[in-house]
Copies of this chain bind each other. A is one copy, B any other.
Amino acid sequence: MKKLIDAVDDVVLDAMRGMAAAHPSLRVDLEQRVIVRSDAPRTGKVGLVSGGGSGHEPLHGGFVGYGMLDAACPGEVFTSPVPDQILAATTAVSGGAGVVHIVKNYTGDVLNFQMAAELAEDEDIEVVPVVIDDDVAVQDSTFTAGRRGTGATVFAEKIAGALAESGGALADVAGVAKEVNERSRSFGVALTACTVPAAGRPTFDLGEDEIELGIGIHGEPGRERVGLRTAIEIVDAALSAIDEDMPLSGSEVLVMVNGMGGTPLMELYGAYAAAEKWLAGHGATISRRLVGNYVTSLEMAGCMISVCRLTPRLTELWDAPVETPGLRWGR
Protein backbone atom coordinates (compact mmCIF):
# COMPACT_ATOMS: atom_id res chain seq x y z
CA MET A 1 0.00 0.00 0.00
CA LYS A 2 1.40 3.38 -1.03
CA LYS A 3 -0.32 6.35 0.50
CA LEU A 4 0.69 9.88 1.36
CA ILE A 5 0.10 9.34 5.07
CA ASP A 6 1.87 9.15 8.38
CA ALA A 7 0.28 6.65 10.79
CA VAL A 8 -2.57 4.51 9.45
CA ASP A 9 -4.61 5.16 12.58
CA ASP A 10 -4.32 8.94 12.29
CA VAL A 11 -5.32 9.56 8.67
CA VAL A 12 -8.70 11.06 9.50
CA LEU A 13 -7.31 13.22 12.28
CA ASP A 14 -4.42 14.43 10.09
CA ALA A 15 -6.84 15.35 7.33
CA MET A 16 -8.92 17.27 9.84
CA ARG A 17 -5.79 19.09 11.00
CA GLY A 18 -5.22 20.11 7.40
CA MET A 19 -8.82 21.29 7.00
CA ALA A 20 -8.44 23.32 10.19
CA ALA A 21 -5.24 24.96 8.97
CA ALA A 22 -6.50 25.56 5.44
CA HIS A 23 -9.97 26.93 6.09
CA PRO A 24 -10.35 29.78 8.55
CA SER A 25 -14.07 29.75 7.74
CA LEU A 26 -14.39 26.41 9.50
CA ARG A 27 -14.12 25.45 13.16
CA VAL A 28 -12.57 22.02 13.36
CA ASP A 29 -12.82 20.22 16.68
CA LEU A 30 -10.25 17.42 16.69
CA GLU A 31 -11.41 16.16 20.06
CA GLN A 32 -15.07 15.78 19.13
CA ARG A 33 -14.20 15.14 15.46
CA VAL A 34 -16.59 17.64 13.97
CA ILE A 35 -16.21 20.31 11.31
CA VAL A 36 -18.46 23.28 11.94
CA ARG A 37 -19.14 26.62 10.24
CA SER A 38 -17.34 29.21 12.27
CA ASP A 39 -20.48 31.35 12.57
CA ALA A 40 -22.57 28.50 14.06
CA PRO A 41 -24.90 28.37 15.86
CA ARG A 42 -27.06 31.08 14.32
CA THR A 43 -30.17 31.81 16.29
CA GLY A 44 -33.33 30.91 14.41
CA LYS A 45 -31.53 29.10 11.58
CA VAL A 46 -32.31 25.44 10.95
CA GLY A 47 -29.08 23.49 11.34
CA LEU A 48 -27.97 21.09 8.62
CA VAL A 49 -25.69 18.25 9.68
CA SER A 50 -24.33 15.36 7.72
CA GLY A 51 -21.60 12.84 8.16
CA GLY A 52 -20.48 9.39 7.28
CA GLY A 53 -17.34 7.42 6.79
CA SER A 54 -14.28 9.37 5.64
CA GLY A 55 -12.74 8.70 2.25
CA HIS A 56 -15.45 10.41 0.19
CA GLU A 57 -13.84 13.85 0.18
CA PRO A 58 -14.87 16.57 -0.40
CA LEU A 59 -18.10 15.02 1.00
CA HIS A 60 -19.02 15.96 3.76
CA GLY A 61 -16.45 18.23 5.43
CA GLY A 62 -15.76 20.05 2.17
CA PHE A 63 -19.42 21.03 1.94
CA VAL A 64 -19.57 22.86 5.26
CA GLY A 65 -20.08 26.59 4.82
CA TYR A 66 -22.43 29.32 3.71
CA GLY A 67 -25.46 27.92 1.90
CA MET A 68 -24.72 24.27 2.51
CA LEU A 69 -23.94 22.22 5.65
CA ASP A 70 -23.54 23.73 9.10
CA ALA A 71 -21.51 20.79 10.32
CA ALA A 72 -20.08 17.46 9.27
CA CYS A 73 -18.90 14.52 11.32
CA PRO A 74 -16.32 12.36 9.58
CA GLY A 75 -16.07 8.78 10.80
CA GLU A 76 -13.07 6.56 10.33
CA VAL A 77 -12.38 5.66 6.70
CA PHE A 78 -15.58 4.10 5.29
CA THR A 79 -16.99 3.76 8.80
CA SER A 80 -20.04 5.61 10.06
CA PRO A 81 -19.38 8.26 12.69
CA VAL A 82 -20.35 7.51 16.28
CA PRO A 83 -23.38 8.99 18.05
CA ASP A 84 -21.25 11.21 20.32
CA GLN A 85 -19.76 12.92 17.30
CA ILE A 86 -23.10 13.43 15.64
CA LEU A 87 -24.54 14.78 18.87
CA ALA A 88 -21.63 17.22 19.23
CA ALA A 89 -22.22 18.47 15.67
CA THR A 90 -25.95 18.76 16.33
CA THR A 91 -25.58 20.80 19.50
CA ALA A 92 -22.89 22.97 17.89
CA VAL A 93 -25.24 24.11 15.12
CA SER A 94 -28.53 24.17 16.98
CA GLY A 95 -29.95 27.69 16.88
CA GLY A 96 -33.31 26.78 18.36
CA ALA A 97 -35.07 26.07 15.06
CA GLY A 98 -34.24 22.38 14.90
CA VAL A 99 -31.63 20.37 13.04
CA VAL A 100 -31.88 18.26 9.90
CA HIS A 101 -29.68 15.19 9.63
CA ILE A 102 -28.79 14.17 6.09
CA VAL A 103 -28.09 10.46 6.40
CA LYS A 104 -26.87 8.18 3.65
CA ASN A 105 -28.75 4.90 3.76
CA TYR A 106 -26.24 2.48 5.26
CA THR A 107 -27.15 0.42 8.31
CA GLY A 108 -24.27 1.90 10.25
CA ASP A 109 -25.04 5.50 9.35
CA VAL A 110 -28.75 5.07 10.01
CA LEU A 111 -28.21 3.43 13.41
CA ASN A 112 -25.59 5.89 14.62
CA PHE A 113 -27.60 8.94 13.49
CA GLN A 114 -30.69 7.44 15.09
CA MET A 115 -28.91 7.06 18.43
CA ALA A 116 -27.56 10.59 18.15
CA ALA A 117 -31.02 11.96 17.40
CA GLU A 118 -32.34 10.32 20.56
CA LEU A 119 -29.56 11.89 22.58
CA ALA A 120 -30.26 15.27 20.99
CA GLU A 121 -33.94 15.05 21.80
CA ASP A 122 -32.87 14.54 25.42
CA GLU A 123 -31.23 17.95 25.14
CA ASP A 124 -34.42 19.41 23.66
CA ILE A 125 -33.10 19.74 20.13
CA GLU A 126 -35.63 18.74 17.53
CA VAL A 127 -33.98 16.54 14.91
CA VAL A 128 -35.47 15.46 11.58
CA PRO A 129 -33.49 12.81 9.74
CA VAL A 130 -33.61 12.63 5.95
CA VAL A 131 -32.31 9.37 4.53
CA ILE A 132 -30.74 9.49 1.06
CA ASP A 133 -31.16 6.29 -0.97
CA ASP A 134 -30.57 7.10 -4.64
CA ASP A 135 -28.46 4.20 -5.86
CA VAL A 136 -30.38 2.27 -8.51
CA ALA A 137 -27.72 -0.43 -8.64
CA VAL A 138 -29.29 -1.91 -5.52
CA GLN A 139 -32.64 -3.64 -5.76
CA ASP A 140 -35.06 -1.91 -3.46
CA SER A 141 -37.14 -3.96 -1.06
CA THR A 142 -38.59 -3.59 2.39
CA PHE A 143 -36.98 -6.89 3.35
CA THR A 144 -33.47 -5.57 2.80
CA ALA A 145 -31.35 -2.64 3.89
CA GLY A 146 -32.67 -0.80 0.81
CA ARG A 147 -30.77 1.37 -1.59
CA ARG A 148 -27.51 3.08 -0.76
CA GLY A 149 -27.12 6.82 -0.46
CA THR A 150 -24.56 8.15 -2.93
CA GLY A 151 -24.33 11.13 -5.31
CA ALA A 152 -27.73 12.64 -4.56
CA THR A 153 -26.34 13.53 -1.14
CA VAL A 154 -24.51 16.46 -2.74
CA PHE A 155 -27.72 17.65 -4.39
CA ALA A 156 -29.69 17.36 -1.14
CA GLU A 157 -27.03 19.12 0.93
CA LYS A 158 -26.74 21.99 -1.53
CA ILE A 159 -30.46 22.52 -2.04
CA ALA A 160 -31.55 22.03 1.58
CA GLY A 161 -28.60 24.19 2.61
CA ALA A 162 -29.82 27.02 0.40
CA LEU A 163 -33.29 26.83 1.89
CA ALA A 164 -31.95 26.75 5.45
CA GLU A 165 -29.69 29.72 4.67
CA SER A 166 -32.66 31.74 3.44
CA GLY A 167 -34.57 31.08 6.65
CA GLY A 168 -36.60 27.98 5.74
CA ALA A 169 -38.41 26.21 8.55
CA LEU A 170 -37.39 22.77 9.86
CA ALA A 171 -40.16 20.87 8.06
CA ASP A 172 -39.48 22.70 4.81
CA VAL A 173 -35.74 22.14 4.87
CA ALA A 174 -36.25 18.44 5.60
CA GLY A 175 -39.02 18.35 3.02
CA VAL A 176 -36.94 19.76 0.19
CA ALA A 177 -34.09 17.36 1.01
CA LYS A 178 -36.57 14.48 0.78
CA GLU A 179 -37.95 15.88 -2.46
CA VAL A 180 -34.45 16.01 -3.96
CA ASN A 181 -33.83 12.44 -2.87
CA GLU A 182 -37.09 11.26 -4.43
CA ARG A 183 -36.28 13.01 -7.70
CA SER A 184 -32.67 11.75 -7.89
CA ARG A 185 -30.98 8.52 -8.93
CA SER A 186 -27.35 7.42 -9.23
CA PHE A 187 -25.32 4.58 -10.70
CA GLY A 188 -21.58 4.01 -10.29
CA VAL A 189 -18.87 2.09 -12.10
CA ALA A 190 -15.41 1.10 -10.89
CA LEU A 191 -12.37 0.51 -13.07
CA THR A 192 -10.17 -0.27 -10.08
CA ALA A 193 -10.70 -0.98 -6.41
CA CYS A 194 -9.47 1.26 -3.62
CA THR A 195 -7.38 0.52 -0.54
CA VAL A 196 -8.61 1.36 2.95
CA PRO A 197 -5.46 2.42 4.86
CA ALA A 198 -6.24 0.19 7.84
CA ALA A 199 -6.84 -2.83 5.59
CA GLY A 200 -3.64 -2.22 3.61
CA ARG A 201 -4.79 -3.94 0.45
CA PRO A 202 -7.43 -3.36 -2.23
CA THR A 203 -10.98 -4.16 -1.16
CA PHE A 204 -11.47 -6.31 -4.21
CA ASP A 205 -9.41 -7.58 -7.12
CA LEU A 206 -10.31 -6.55 -10.63
CA GLY A 207 -8.60 -8.07 -13.65
CA GLU A 208 -6.93 -5.87 -16.26
CA ASP A 209 -9.95 -6.39 -18.54
CA GLU A 210 -12.71 -6.14 -15.98
CA ILE A 211 -14.84 -3.40 -14.51
CA GLU A 212 -17.51 -3.41 -11.80
CA LEU A 213 -20.95 -2.06 -12.60
CA GLY A 214 -23.15 -0.76 -9.83
CA ILE A 215 -20.50 -0.07 -7.22
CA GLY A 216 -21.09 1.81 -4.02
CA ILE A 217 -18.85 4.48 -2.57
CA HIS A 218 -17.34 2.36 0.19
CA GLY A 219 -15.04 0.23 -1.88
CA GLU A 220 -17.67 -2.49 -1.87
CA PRO A 221 -17.94 -4.59 -5.02
CA GLY A 222 -20.77 -3.79 -7.43
CA ARG A 223 -23.69 -5.71 -8.74
CA GLU A 224 -22.02 -7.17 -11.80
CA ARG A 225 -18.51 -7.69 -13.09
CA VAL A 226 -18.19 -7.27 -16.84
CA GLY A 227 -15.49 -6.89 -19.46
CA LEU A 228 -13.80 -3.55 -20.09
CA ARG A 229 -16.11 -1.17 -21.96
CA THR A 230 -15.88 2.19 -23.65
CA ALA A 231 -16.94 5.38 -21.93
CA ILE A 232 -20.01 5.55 -24.15
CA GLU A 233 -21.05 2.03 -23.14
CA ILE A 234 -20.42 2.71 -19.46
CA VAL A 235 -22.45 5.92 -19.57
CA ASP A 236 -25.20 4.04 -21.40
CA ALA A 237 -25.27 1.34 -18.72
CA ALA A 238 -25.50 3.94 -15.96
CA LEU A 239 -28.11 6.17 -17.58
CA SER A 240 -30.21 3.23 -18.80
CA ALA A 241 -30.38 1.88 -15.26
CA ILE A 242 -31.40 5.30 -13.97
CA ASP A 243 -33.92 5.91 -16.75
CA GLU A 244 -35.51 2.49 -16.21
CA ASP A 245 -36.07 3.32 -12.58
CA MET A 246 -37.07 6.96 -13.05
CA PRO A 247 -38.04 7.85 -16.61
CA LEU A 248 -36.16 10.97 -17.67
CA SER A 249 -37.84 11.84 -20.92
CA GLY A 250 -39.29 15.32 -20.88
CA SER A 251 -37.32 16.40 -17.80
CA GLU A 252 -34.94 19.24 -17.16
CA VAL A 253 -32.17 17.62 -15.18
CA LEU A 254 -29.24 18.36 -12.96
CA VAL A 255 -26.46 15.91 -13.80
CA MET A 256 -23.34 15.08 -11.89
CA VAL A 257 -20.55 13.12 -13.56
CA ASN A 258 -18.65 12.33 -10.42
CA GLY A 259 -15.17 10.89 -10.27
CA MET A 260 -14.53 8.18 -7.69
CA GLY A 261 -11.13 9.71 -6.93
CA GLY A 262 -8.63 8.16 -9.31
CA THR A 263 -10.02 9.03 -12.72
CA PRO A 264 -8.58 12.08 -14.49
CA LEU A 265 -10.89 15.05 -15.01
CA MET A 266 -10.21 14.70 -18.74
CA GLU A 267 -11.96 11.35 -18.75
CA LEU A 268 -14.85 12.67 -16.68
CA TYR A 269 -15.41 15.40 -19.26
CA GLY A 270 -15.37 12.76 -21.97
CA ALA A 271 -18.01 10.83 -20.01
CA TYR A 272 -20.01 14.03 -19.56
CA ALA A 273 -20.04 14.55 -23.33
CA ALA A 274 -21.38 11.01 -23.71
CA ALA A 275 -23.99 11.62 -21.01
CA GLU A 276 -25.16 14.83 -22.63
CA LYS A 277 -25.61 13.04 -25.94
CA TRP A 278 -27.42 10.11 -24.32
CA LEU A 279 -29.83 12.36 -22.45
CA ALA A 280 -30.54 14.52 -25.48
CA GLY A 281 -31.31 11.32 -27.39
CA HIS A 282 -33.76 10.31 -24.66
CA GLY A 283 -35.65 13.56 -24.46
CA ALA A 284 -34.02 15.06 -21.40
CA THR A 285 -32.29 18.44 -21.15
CA ILE A 286 -29.36 19.11 -18.87
CA SER A 287 -29.87 22.49 -17.33
CA ARG A 288 -27.34 22.27 -14.47
CA ARG A 289 -24.30 20.06 -13.97
CA LEU A 290 -21.23 19.15 -11.96
CA VAL A 291 -18.21 17.41 -13.49
CA GLY A 292 -15.48 16.43 -11.06
CA ASN A 293 -14.72 14.64 -7.83
CA TYR A 294 -17.48 15.30 -5.32
CA VAL A 295 -18.25 11.96 -3.68
CA THR A 296 -15.17 9.79 -3.93
CA SER A 297 -14.14 6.36 -2.85
CA LEU A 298 -10.52 7.10 -1.93
CA GLU A 299 -8.41 6.56 -5.07
CA MET A 300 -10.84 4.29 -6.89
CA ALA A 301 -10.88 4.79 -10.68
CA GLY A 302 -14.32 5.08 -12.18
CA CYS A 303 -17.31 7.36 -12.13
CA MET A 304 -20.80 7.72 -10.83
CA ILE A 305 -23.57 9.45 -12.67
CA SER A 306 -26.31 11.14 -10.68
CA VAL A 307 -29.41 12.73 -12.13
CA CYS A 308 -31.99 14.94 -10.41
CA ARG A 309 -35.23 15.91 -12.13
CA LEU A 310 -35.38 19.61 -11.42
CA THR A 311 -38.33 21.86 -10.73
CA PRO A 312 -38.07 25.64 -11.03
CA ARG A 313 -37.83 25.88 -7.24
CA LEU A 314 -35.07 23.29 -7.01
CA THR A 315 -33.16 25.06 -9.78
CA GLU A 316 -33.42 28.33 -7.93
CA LEU A 317 -32.13 26.76 -4.72
CA TRP A 318 -29.32 25.06 -6.65
CA ASP A 319 -28.28 28.41 -8.12
CA ALA A 320 -28.26 30.19 -4.76
CA PRO A 321 -24.82 31.28 -3.52
CA VAL A 322 -22.68 28.70 -1.80
CA GLU A 323 -19.27 29.06 -0.23
CA THR A 324 -17.61 25.88 0.92
CA PRO A 325 -14.17 24.37 0.25
CA GLY A 326 -15.68 21.89 -2.21
CA LEU A 327 -18.42 23.89 -3.93
CA ARG A 328 -18.49 27.61 -4.42
CA TRP A 329 -20.36 30.12 -6.48
CA GLY A 330 -22.18 33.41 -6.17
CA ARG A 331 -19.80 34.82 -3.54
Contacts and interface: CB of A to CB of B under 8 A. Distances in A.
Nearest to A228: B2
Interface in A10-44: 11-12, 14-22
A4 B265 contact: no
Interface in A48-94: 54-55, 57-58, 62, 77
Interface residues of A, number: 61
Contact of A291 (B4, B22, B262, B268): B22
A220 B205 CA distance: 28
A5 B298 contact: no
B18 A272 contact: yes
Contact of A328 (B77, B267, B270, B329): B329
Contacts of A5: 230-231, 267, 270
A101 B263 CA distance: 29
Contacts of A329: 328, 331
A11 B265 contact: no
A125 B276 CA distance: 37
Interface of A, secondary structure class, is mixed
A312 interface: no
Contact of A191 (B3, B21, B293, B298): B3
A58 B265 contact: yes
30 contacts: A3-B191, A3-B263, A4-B191, A4-B231, A4-B234, A4-B271, A4-B303, A5-B231, A6-B230, A6-B274, A17-B273, A18-B269, A18-B271, A18-B276, A19-B269, A20-B273, A21-B272, A22-B272, A22-B291, A55-B264, A57-B266, A261-B262, A261-B264, A264-B299, A265-B293, A265-B296, A291-B325, A299-B301, A329-B331, A330-B331
